[in-house]
């Protein structure tokens, strides 16, 4: 197991997320379409790649990341392109004769604003074209289409194109999911680091996604995080006592692999710089400070807010996060004053707080009236770089 920090992990570097994978496969087997729910960096994309790299028998998997698509046409373009890609087609040769023959015989000329244009001159609506390609797939095969950063795509379409197009994409997906001919053959798995629910509720279309089976990807449990950290230490050959690992996990608190890897990386550097260095609590504190210097690991937490919200909403969220970063916690009674200052009404403020929770910044798990950061490391970074 290598210590990968920030890239999607594959193969041996993937720490088995047994519970999540079992839950996802069970949902796929039962025929539901899935929304993978978790804030950024919790491990959704890595899980999706695991499913793609090691699918169960009878399943064929396509993975696409549609983050860069900012109009409806581009989204479909990406989907059809993925289905026409050489690698995918080659894989089909042994997996699904029907789909292989269909995809190699039906030639798509281009995917344009008017739909999918085929070489034979026909142009079909995106979802009709999709249905045609997949409908009578081999009897014992099912296609899993994983769409990463879907919420971001919908948000981009709202921003750069039109609410109408966003709705049309969401509706097309819903009708594909509800079309028995498609659903029998295809499972959609959507994921994204911003909440699809909050994006969709902004355009009052929450009903369009209420058929999805939401599966949460959670941080590691304490014991699992301990095992993960120990294994990481031994495979990259750094020596840490049980107590030191426990201290590190206390400091990380929000036990997603990413923050653990980030600190282990810094500890490795400390021990490389001084081979006699004992990796004790003070070394861990030093590693945290060093980790905080990596702007690139944290900055997206701020830029996403700036990009996704109106200026008032952004300033409101920033102030909330500033206050919590300063005082560790914030009482919900303070929210309304801050909202008024930024000209948001109570509902808008509540929706923003909901988004901050959903997107993984803060929680009120222990006491519903008290907010705090999920990650003390993010809290410290925010305090140092944004609040001050």
Ligand X SMILES: Nc1ncnc2c1ncn2[C@@H]1O[C@H](COP(=O)(O)OP(=O)(O)O)[C@@H](O)[C@H]1O
Chain positions contacting Mg ion, by CB under 5 A:
45
Of residues 6 and 58, the one with the C-beta less far from ligand X: 6
Q: What element of type H or E holds 34?
A: strand 34-37
What are the structure tokens assigned to 345, written together? 């009404």
- Least CB distance from residue 287 to ligand X, whole Å? 16
Measure the CA–CA gap between 74 and 83, rounded to whole angstroms.
14
- Least CB distance from residue 371 to Mg ion, whole Å? 25
- Least CB distance from residue 355 to ligand X, whole Å? 17
* Residue 6, binding choice from Mg ion, ligand X, none, Cβ under 5 to 8 Å by partner class: ligand X
Measure the CA–CA gap between 112 and 127, rounded to whole angstroms.
13
Q: What element of type H or E holds 339?
A: helix 335-341
- Least CB distance from residue 277 to ligand X, whole Å? 24
When binding is defined by CB under 6 A, the residue of 15, 75, 247, 373 that contacts ligand X is 15
Measure the CA–CA gap between 167 and 72, rounded to whole angstroms.
10
Contacting range for ligand X; rule: CB under 6 A; set: 5-13, 87-95, 243-251, 294-302:
5-13
Contacting range for ligand X; rule: CB under 6 A; set: 8-16, 95-103, 113-121, 280-288:
8-16
- Per DSSP bridges, beta strands 186-192 and 142-148 are parallel
The answer to whether residues 199 and 154 touch, using CB atoms and an 8 Å cutoff, is yes
Closest CA to 182 of 218, 122, 142: 142
What is the CB neighbour count within 10 angstroms for residue 88? 19
17 binds ligand X (CB under 6 A): yes
When binding is defined by CB under 6 A, the residue of 115, 195, 219, 257 that contacts ligand X is 257
CB-based burial label for 11 (10 Å; 0-12, 13-18, 19+): exposed
Contacting range for ligand X; rule: CB under 6 A; set: 10-18, 66-74, 79-87, 296-304:
10-18
Those residues with Cβ within 8 angstroms of residue 207's Cβ, 6 or more apart along the chain or in another chain = none
- Least CB distance from residue 38 to ligand X, whole Å? 5
* Number of amino acids touching ligand X (CB under 6 A): 21
CA angle 263, 228, 277 (to 5 degrees): 40
Of residues 40 and 290, the one with the C-beta less far from Mg ion: 40
What are the structure tokens assigned to 348, written together? 């808008």
Footprint (CB under 6 A) of ligand X, residues 38-57: 38, 40-46
* Residue 42, binding choice from Mg ion, ligand X, none, Cβ under 5 to 8 Å by partner class: ligand X
Q: Using CB under 6 A as the criterion, which residues of the chain lie in contact with ligand X when the complex forms?
A: 4-9, 14-15, 17, 38, 40-46, 193, 257-258, 261
């Amino acid at each position: 197991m290598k210590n990968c920090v920030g890239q999607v992990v594959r193969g041996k570097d993937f720490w088995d997320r047994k519970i999540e994978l079992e839950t996802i496969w069970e949902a796929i087997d039962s025929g539901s379409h899935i929304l993978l729910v978790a804030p950024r960096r919790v491990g959704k994309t890595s899980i999706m790649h695991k499913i793609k790299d090691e699918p169960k028998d009878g399943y064929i998997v396509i993975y696409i990341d549609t983050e860069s698509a900012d109009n409806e046409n581009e989204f479909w373009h990406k989907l059809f392109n993925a289905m026409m890609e050489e690698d995918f087609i080659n894989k089909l040769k042994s997996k699904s004769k029907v789909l292989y023959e269909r995809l190699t015989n039906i030639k798509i000329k281009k995917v344009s604003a008017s739909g999918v244009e085929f070489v034979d001159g026909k142009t079909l609506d995106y979802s009709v074209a999709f249905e045609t390609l997949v409908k009578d797939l081999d009897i014992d095969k099912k296609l899993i289409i994983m769409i990463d950063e879907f919420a971001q795509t919908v948000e981009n379409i709202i921003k750069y194109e039109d609410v109408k197009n966003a709705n049309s994409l969401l509706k097309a997906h819903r009708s594909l999911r509800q079309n028995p001919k498609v659903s029998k053959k295809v499972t959609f798995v959507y994921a994204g680091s911003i909440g699809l629910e909050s994006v969709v509720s902004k355009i009052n279309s929450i009903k369009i996604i209420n058929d999805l089976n939401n599966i949460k990807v959670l941080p590691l449990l304490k014991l699992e995080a301990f095992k993960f950290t120990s294994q990481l230490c031994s495979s990259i050959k750094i020596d840490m006592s049980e107590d030191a690992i426990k201290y590190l996990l206390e400091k990380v608190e929000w036990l997603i692999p990413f923050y653990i890897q980030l600190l282990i990386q810094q500890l490795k550097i400390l021990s490389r710089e001084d081979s006699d260095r004992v990796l004790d609590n003070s070394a861990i504190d030093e590693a945290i400070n060093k980790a905080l210097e990596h702007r690139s690991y944290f900055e997206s937490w701020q830029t996403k807010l700036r990009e996704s919200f109106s200026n008032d909403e952004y300033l409101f969220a920033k102030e909330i996060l500033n206050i919590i970063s300063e005082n560790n916690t914030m009482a919900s009674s303070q929210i309304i004053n801050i909202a008024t200052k930024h000209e948001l009404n109570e509902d808008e403020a509540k929706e923003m707080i909901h988004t901050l929770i959903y997107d993984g910044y803060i929680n009120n798990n222990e006491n519903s009236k008290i907010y705090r950061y999920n990650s003390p490391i993010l809290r410290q970074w925010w305090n140092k770089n944004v609040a001050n």
